[in-house]
A = this chain, B = another copy of it.
């Protein structure tokens, strides 16, 4: 239950903070390696999962099914608009869809409604 502070966790947290875009565990592992902060791949996976469980990082899947992680600005629940090519991310606050999702779930007598809402597009920079 405890969460010991280790060099590895600090390194992963720092690498995450340096990223603006969503990154995969393997990408972050590479970032760490390049920085000289050697951390085992298994540890990167474990640490990211720990952070995600603690709601300290957001995670989503790209079209290929890879899990991507990002430390967002806002800590409250939100969604993302992600560039398909560079992964530039905009944090989206969607009260409209929150209400919609809850209403639809209730209307069909489903409980514990959870929603997956992510927007993908091509950002201005990647459009040339």
By a beta-carbon cutoff of 8 Å, the part of chain A in contact with chain B is 61, 65, 67, 81, 83-84, 90, 92, 94, 96-97, 100-101, 104-105, 108-124, 127
Contact: B119 with A115, CB < 8 Å? yes
Distance in Å: Cβ of A27 to nearest Cβ of chain B: 18
Contact: B83 with A110, CB < 8 Å? yes
Inter-chain CA distance A65–B105, complex, in Å, is 22
Report the 10 A-B pairs with minimum CB-CB distance, sorted nearest first. Answer: A110-B121, A113-B121, A109-B124, A114-B120, A116-B118, A90-B108, A112-B122, A117-B117, A115-B119, A96-B100
Partner of A65, one of B65, B94, B115: B65
Q: Which residue on B lies nearest to A117, using beta carbons?
A: B117
Distance in Å: Cβ of A88 to nearest Cβ of chain B: 9
